[in-house]
Amino acid sequence: MFTPNPNPFRLDHETALITGGGSGIGLGIARCMIQAGARVVLVGRREEQLVKACAELGSMSSFLAHDITRLDAASDLVAAAQNAGQSPLTILVNNAGTHLKKFAADTTPEDFQIVFNTHVLAAHALTRAVIPGMVTQGRGSILFTSSMAAFMGVPQVLAYAAAKSAYFGMVSTLSAELSAKGVRVNAIAPGWIFSDMSRKALDSDPGRKAKVLSRIQMGRMGNPDDVGHAAVYLCSPAAEYVTGVTLPVDGGASVGF
């Protein structure tokens, strides 16, 4: 007999490792997951930023200062995160990234490698490190932060768009391999999301700001918690039959005119 879950959008008893969790979208995901009952372990390179984030988030948060492009240290990071979170990891959010704004003709192989190291190789290394534990537990959720740039042509972001597009194949393949073992794999593709950096850039360029807003069907930019709430859904029991998808969270920009 089917027994409905009274709180399907809750993340009680879940422990999430969130890369790039000290600011922006990563911090928004952490905040929303804690509100839903999860413990979170933030990972980033800047300890001062992580300390500030955890002070905001409270006792359900902890952090590890770490460079995820140290690929051979991925298993050590996962073990340390489980110690910090005082629980086996049940959620991995591959959110850390680096941006590069260059025209395609000016983008060097070295530029491509730097972007791919963070977005693709590091995300794979961490995913590979959490898979055994999640499979043994018979449950887990792996989430990638893709981008609207993977859906539409945006000038001067060739390496970034290519890296974010790589998540489509990673999500599909991982889902095919892991879903029957209780591990779901999905991605979110944020659109234009407010941050201190984006606000400063757009406020200093009214023409670009007007163009951006004209592409968004909802007529406004999003905020990190918009992405965070979507992440909670995809990692919660409410999405227990959802795997292998990339969910745009962009106010309609990717399908706008």
Q: Give the residue numbers annotated as catalytic, written as ranges.
A: 160
156 Rama class: left (phi>0) / alpha (psi -120 to 50) / beta = left
How far is Cα 141 from Cα 14, in angstroms, rounded to an integer? 10
Contacts of 72 (CB under 8 A, 6+ apart): none
Could you tell me if 43 and 81 are in contact, meaning their C-beta atoms sit under 8 angstroms apart? yes
How far is Cα 25 from Cα 190, in angstroms, rounded to an integer? 9
The DSSP symbol for 180 reads G
Q: How far is CA 173 from CA 85, 168, 230, in A?
A: 28, 9, 22
Handedness of CA 173, 113, 25, 249 (dihedral sign): negative
How far is Cα 203 from Cα 201, in angstroms, rounded to an integer? 6
Beta strands in the chain (DSSP E): 15-19, 39-44, 61-65, 91-94, 140-145, 183-190, 246-249
